């Protein structure tokens, strides 16, 4: 099979879904049988390949895992990193918009067991996981690593579309980010809290503030929405997922999906 890498028990395949490159991982003896399926998003200026260890671990646990290439990354990157640096929020929105197409592709092939769909991601992918959970009620559970559920607030400090924040560009910033307002998880806490949600964040993160994850936990608690929440804060970790954190996410999906 072209693009396939076989291991003792996991098969990882390079595929395209609606023209978008993806890595598809599954137990090697059940690649073409229905399985609970997790769509896992990679981080900004990262790659689906770097996230493939999650796919391997989750496939070892019996899941189908699809790791799509984010827009302006990998084969979808045109080589202009300066332009990409100003497109974080547009890329994030496209990740969220593209998820139903991925789901439909594998559902139409009969490869998703009983509609059991999960979503996860690291960094920008963690933002996307929260956004998808808030937007699509067919997702059964979600895992966010190093993400934030406060899009409009964080858009001023995490890869902002304007490198210098001035009174003059506030209106332009608001206009540019307006399409994202309907995607902001902060405005859909009821949707975030009504299904199993896993949040992991390092307290020493110097890119995406750990305080955003703490704030989300508090806001969910204020709205009485913590019964489905698994929250892990690592006091020593920065913007990097530890093996313990990855293993905890696998356990979470085993228990909820």
- Give domain status of residue 5, yes or no: no
**Residue 85's domain spans which residues?**
34-256
What pLDDT tens digit does each residue of the chain (257 aa) get? 334 444 459 999 999 999 999 999 999 999 999 999 999 999 999 999 988 999 999 999 999 999 999 998 888 998 888 788 889 999 999 999 999 999 999 999 999 999 999 999 999 999 999 999 999 999 999 999 999 999 999 988 888 776 656 777 778 878 888 999 999 999 999 999 999 999 999 999 999 999 999 999 999 999 999 999 999 999 999 999 999 999 999 999 999 99
Q: Is residue 8 part of a domain?
A: no
Flag whether 15 is in a domain: no
Q: Cα–Cα distance between 59 and 182 in angstroms, integer?
A: 33
For residue 141, the domain's CATH number is 3.40.50.1820
Q: Does 29 map to a domain?
A: no
Instruction: Give dist(CA 103, CA 167) in Å, integer.
Output: 42
Q: Is the dihedral of CA 41, 200, 229, 178 positive or negative?
A: negative
Residue with tokens 């959970």: 133
- Quick check: is 219 in a domain? yes
Q: What is the tally of structural domains in the chain?
A: 1
What is the reported pLDDT for 2? Answer: 39
Residue 78: inside a domain, yes or no?
yes
- For residue 232, is it within any domain? yes
Instruction: Identify the H or E element spanning 40.
Output: strand 35-41
Q: Say what the alpha-carbon torsion angle 73, 212, 96, 228 is, to the nearest 10 degrees.
A: 130
Of 226, 230, 151, 148, the C-alpha closest to 190 is: 226
pLDDT tens by residue, 6-21 = 445 999 999 999 999 9
């Amino acid at each position: 099979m072209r693009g396939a890498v076989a291991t003792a028990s996991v098969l990882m395949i390079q595929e395209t879904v609606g023209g978008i490159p993806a890595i598809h991982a599954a137990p090697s003896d059940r690649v073409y049988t229905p399985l609970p399926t997790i769509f896992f998003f990679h981080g900004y200026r990262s790659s689906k390949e770097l996230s493939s260890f999650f796919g391997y671990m989750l496939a070892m646990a019996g899941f189908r895992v699809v790791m799509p290439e984010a827009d302006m990354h990998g084969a979808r990157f045109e080589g202009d990193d300066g332009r990409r640096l100003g497109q974080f929020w547009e890329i994030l929105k496209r990740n969220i918009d593209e998820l139903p197409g991925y789901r439909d592709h594998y559902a139409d092939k009969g490869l998703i067991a009983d509609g059991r769909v999960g979503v996860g991601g690291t960094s920008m992918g963690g933002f996307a996981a929260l956004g998808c959970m808030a937007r699509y009620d067919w997702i059964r559970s979600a895992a966010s690593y190093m993400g934030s559920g406060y899009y409009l607030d964080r858009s001023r400090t995490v890869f902002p579309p304007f490198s210098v924040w001035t009174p003059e560009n506030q209106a332009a910033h608001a206009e540019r980010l307006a399409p994202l307002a309907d995607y902001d998880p902060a405005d859909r806490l009821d949707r975030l809290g009504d299904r199993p949600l896993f949040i992991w964040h390092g307290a020493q993160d110097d890119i995406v503030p750990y305080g955003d994850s703490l704030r989300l936990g508090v806001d969910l608690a204020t709205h009485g929405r913590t019964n489905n929440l698994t929250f892990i804060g690592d006091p020593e970790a920065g913007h990097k997922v530890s093996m313990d954190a990855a293993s905890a996410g696998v356990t979470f999906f085993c228990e909820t999906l």
